[in-house]
Structure 1
């Protein structure tokens, strides 16, 4: 006689399973680098113009501004500082970054957003909520024209 086994009700071996929820924020591999090292890594993104060619100033200036702002926050790395900054709560922090910029608000904001896109692409900071992600999609280099 053959023994028959049954799975408990509600549990099935078929169908996709959800991965376990992460309880800690993910951290990118550039989390512990200094500002200059991060900016160098940004320049290695696909499509970023080689040194001396193109106009990499906008995303690099924007990324530097964000990193300098984050450096003033508590934390052991960029992701800790990102979370401590309150940037996950909305976009209010963007106005704080550009409040002393003498240029038009849209120009200053475009520069910060170009920098943020690059920081997200290189996973220097990892946005856990959609409220802190840039609304303009595309490659970092798309802002270099």
Structure 2
């Protein structure tokens, strides 16, 4: 399976969590490839935040999702809500009828639409190391939504 790893990487806490999730996915025998926007976009080296950079990164991220079989989304964010880019990636995947696996280690309350788009929800990163991505079970988010 090919995984697109969606999640924020704007702070050291987020970078650390992204690294933990990436490591857990690398340990999973059912995963052959991990697409990570943090590591794989802007290989052209365009100036960050330039119009050309924005266009390139958007197209690259969409292209990586199009190549993936599943999106793994980190819902933890510095605020009480999900990162808007991650939410968009979840919506795009759901629209393509692609399964979404969501992890939120701090167990935040999540948006109703994100909860509805998620096939498998966990608050434990280690679950990702042993999850059978070839046969993802239904394990929806259970809790309050906004």
Instruction: Give the TM interval when normalised to the shorter protein.
Output: 0.3 to 0.5
Report the structure number with the largest CA radius of gyration.
1
Higher strand share: 2
Higher relative contact order (CA 8 A, sep 6+): 1
Choose between structure 1 and 2: higher helix proportion: 1
